[in-house]
Each structure stands twice: as C-alpha cells, then as structure tokens.
C-alpha cells in the first residue's frame, strides 16, 4: 500500500490531473524520496532539483504504473534514475574523471576497516560524509551500496568500465573511512 492508505484513488486522481491528488501524493512521498535524492546530490538545493524533476516524471508517467509491484518502489526507481540522469547531464561540470581500473587486494583490508567504522556512525553523519565524497565516488557508492545496482549496471548507466566502478567503490569506502575517522576524532576532542 505504501505511505497513503489508498494509493489507487490518489493514482487515479493524478492520472486525471486532479491537483489535490497530486499534492497528496507529493506530500506523502516527499520525505522518503528526498532522502534518496540527497544521497546523490552534493547539497540540499541539488537534491531538491532532482526531487522536483523526478516528481514531474512521476506525474507524467503515472498512467504507466499499472499497479505492478510496489508503488513506492516505482517512485523510488524514478528518483534514482532521475538522479543518474542529472549526474550524466552535469558530468562535465563535475569533472568526473575515470580512475585507475585496477582493483587491488590491498584495498580489501582498508574496506574491512571502513565497514567497522560505518557500523558505529549515525545516519545523518554518514549522509554528510557521503555528500562530501567526490561526485564519481558518491555516485558509485550510492548506486552499489544503497540502491543495489551491479557493477555492470553502474558501468552502463554512467558510461564507465566495470573496473572503474569497482575501483571507485573501493576508493569511496576508503575516503568515507577517512572522513568518518576525522569526524569521530573531532567529536572526541569536543568531549
């Protein structure tokens, strides 16, 4: 059913262009979908741009939903795809550089340490650190870790190689570890 008690009535209203239904749908999914958009954006303004562009797509395509699967999942996929489209459009502006394709075994030890730090940090702190990653690392990290894309799907979506996707994920984890360690050290000093 999702967030709304009866998605069918709201969906039907949105298909018919009813502004109240559109407003109810927008408000019902605002919080959850903004979280999705924030993961891909460098700041809240960019996340809001992605969110609004995504909701335009939701309203334009809601008649195609067809009551197959989770409605919330359908909206979420639109938001993720909108974020990826946004990334592609801004790829030159973000100076996204394809990184070394080698995925070395030495990174696995660093990844294990990164995972341990990630288990001891709150969501808000983690989100801020993810937003501090370079666009290339942030995109791959979110797509792989949070949204469950395979490296092949990431490579296809971002027009990079599978090796680059793996390398960027590994380096994102290492950078997150450093960012989180710095944050933990700063909090420890303040206490």
Q: Where are the domains of the chain?
A: 7-89, 106-190
Residue 71 burial (CB count, 10 A): 22
Query: Bigger pLDDT: 65 or 51?
Result: 51
59-70: average pLDDT: 86
Query: Bigger pLDDT: 117 or 53?
Result: 53
Domain 7-89 and domain 106-190, same fold? Reply is: no
The answer on pLDDT for 39 being more than 70 is yes
pTM above 0.75, yes or no: no
Q: What CATH number should be reported for the domain whose range is 7-89?
A: 1.10.1740.10
130-151: average pLDDT: 87
pLDDT for the residue numbered 13: 93
80-103: average pLDDT: 61
DSSP state of 120: T
142-145 CB contacts, 8 Å cutoff, 24+ apart: 142/39, 142/40, 142/83, 143/80, 143/84, 144/169, 145/169
| Cα gap 149→152, rounded to integer Å | 8
Q: In this predicted structure, which of 3-7, 25-29, 33-37, 128-132 has the lowest mean pLDDT?
A: 3-7
Which pLDDT band, with edges at 50, 70 and 90, does 128 fall under? Answer: confident
DSSP state of 5: S
CATH fold for the domain made of 106-190: Arc Repressor Mutant, subunit A (1.10.10)
């Amino acid at each position: 059913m999702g967030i709304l008690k009866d998605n069918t009535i709201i969906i039907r209203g949105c298909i018919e262009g009813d502004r109240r239904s559109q407003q109810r749908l927008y408000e019902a999914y605002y919080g959850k979908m903004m979280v999705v958009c924030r993961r891909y954006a460098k700041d809240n303004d960019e996340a809001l741009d992605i969110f609004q562009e995504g909701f335009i797509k939701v309203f334009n395509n809601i008649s195609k939903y067809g009551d197959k699967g989770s409605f919330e999942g359908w909206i979420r996929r639109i938001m993720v795809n909108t974020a990826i489209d946004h990334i592609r459009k801004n790829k030159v502006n973000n100076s996204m550089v394809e990184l070394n394709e080698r995925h070395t075994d030495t990174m696995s030890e660093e990844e294990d340490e990164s995972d341990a730090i990630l288990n001891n940090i709150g969501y808000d702190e983690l989100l801020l650190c993810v937003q501090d990653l370079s666009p290339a690392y942030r995109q791959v990290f979110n797509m792989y870790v949070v949204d469950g894309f395979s490296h092949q799907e990431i490579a296809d979506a971002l027009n990079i190689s599978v090796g680059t996707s793996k390398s960027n994920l590994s380096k994102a984890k290492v950078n997150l570890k450093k960012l989180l360690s710095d944050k933990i050290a700063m909090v420890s000093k303040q206490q």
